[in-house]
């Protein structure tokens, strides 16, 4: 389980600013005029969303240990190798191992950070390529349309900050940001092949969930699902990892579909004619205690109370 954090600082002390940045980012050196620095960071070990407010003029030398994607208000010029830019003009990225020289000057910087291993596994799942190594061919988005899409996704993600302590919300935001980022920035490799793979994965997922919804009342297995949609079990699992928001495996989705159907039956049933155990068994839940626990987690209620209300 990724450990959630929500942390912030505000200081007018340059030494304290540098200590904070080194604790958060690793190899950072800061030279700054007198002024105020503040940061708010929220996320977990896989990703974070960060807002850095520089109410001063500074120079920051930073060697990235993960992927950072940035946008800002006017006043953040940067240099990476021979490339230069301004984050208010064009969003940009810093890759692991690259050294950035930043020159913030009374600016508000937004960062989206991804752990390298997590982003790699996510990209492999989305594109169905177990050998994919995440590396980008440039620092800027590949087109104006995808840049605007990425910026809109970042704006939406910021509306979710108050809810990020909830693991399911955080997982949804994390995956949505990663997908938009991988599409918007110039990932090394053939984008046509990646897009075809992503479309195929989405098609398998959509077909599988539809088939499960239609056949949840039958004693079907995940092998049956895979055969029905024309893929292997491994391919089915990859499609769920790439596209599912709440059920990361086909088994979880099948269980959730059956639990939802059981809930509908509990609401509609006559409690003088049927029991909770009979409805649970009807939908494949042979362990009554396990059904009660799963039902309570999903609906925050006891199934007997749902039946008898």
Percentage of the chain lying above the pLDDT 70 cut: 99
Domain assignment present for residue 301? The answer is yes
Any domain includes 181: no
This prediction has a pTM of 0.71
Does some domain include residue 42? yes
Look at residue 1 in the predicted model and tell me its pLDDT. Answer: 47
250 in any annotated domain: yes
Instruction: Indicate the helix (H) or strand (E) that contains 204.
Output: helix 191-215
Task: Give per-residue pLDDT as tens, 12-56.
Answer: 999 999 999 999 999 899 999 889 999 999 999 999 999 999 999
Same domain, 214 and 100: no
173-193 pLDDT, tens digit per residue, is 998 999 899 999 999 988 877
| CA distances in angstroms from 196 to 128, 140, 205, listed in the order given | 10, 23, 14
The reply to whether 282 falls in a domain is yes
Point out the domain boundary residue: 58, 90, 116.
Answer: 116
Query: Which range of residues forms the domain containing residue 225?
Result: 190-309
Q: For position 67, which CATH number holds? A: 2.60.120.10
Say which residue the tokens 């020159």 belong to.
103
- We report the CATH number of the domain holding residue 198 as 1.10.10.60
Residue 152 lies in a domain: no
Is the same domain home to 195 and 111?
no
Amino acid 246: pLDDT: 64
Angstrom distance (rounded) from CA 40 to CA 51:
5
Domain end, chosen from 116, 142, 158, is at 116
- Count Cβ atoms below 10 Å from residue 40 Cβ, excluding itself: 15
State how many domains the chain has.
Answer: 2
């Amino acid at each position: 389980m990724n450990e959630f954090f929500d942390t912030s600082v505000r200081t007018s002390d340059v030494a304290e600013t540098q200590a904070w940045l080194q604790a958060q980012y690793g190899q950072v050196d800061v030279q700054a005029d007198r002024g105020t620095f503040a940061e708010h960071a929220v996320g977990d070990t896989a990703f974070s969303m960060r807002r850095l407010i520089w109410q001063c003029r500074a120079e920051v030398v930073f060697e990235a240990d993960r992927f950072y994607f940035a946008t800002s208000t006017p006043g953040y010029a940067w240099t990476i190798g021979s490339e230069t830019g301004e984050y208010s003009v064009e969003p940009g990225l810093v890759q692991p191992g690259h050294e950035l020289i930043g020159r913030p000057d009374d600016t508000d910087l937004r960062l989206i950070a991804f752990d390298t291993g997590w982003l790699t596994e996510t990209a492999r799942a989305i594109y169905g390529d177990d050998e994919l190594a995440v590396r980008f061919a440039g620092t800027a988005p590949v087109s104006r349309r995808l840049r605007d899409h990425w910026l809109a996704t970042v704006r939406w993600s910021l509306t979710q900050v108050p809810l990020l302590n909830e693991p399911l919300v955080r997982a949804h935001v994390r995956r949505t940001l990663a997908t938009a980022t991988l599409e918007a920035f110039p990932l090394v490799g053939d984008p046509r092949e990646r897009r075809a793979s992503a479309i195929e994965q989405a098609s398998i997922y959509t077909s599988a969930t539809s088939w499960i919804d239609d056949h949840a009342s039958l004693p079907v297995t995940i092998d049956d699902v895979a055969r029905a949609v024309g893929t292997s079990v491994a391919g089915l699992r990859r499609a769920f990892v790439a596209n599912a928001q709440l059920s990361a495996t086909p088994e979880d989705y099948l269980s959730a579909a059956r639990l939802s159907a059981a809930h509908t039956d509990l609401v509609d049933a006559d409690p003088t004619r049927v029991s909770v155990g009979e409805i649970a068994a009807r939908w494949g839940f042979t362990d009554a205690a396990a059904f009660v626990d799963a039902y309570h987690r999903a609906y925050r209620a006891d199934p007997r109370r749902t039946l008898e209300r």
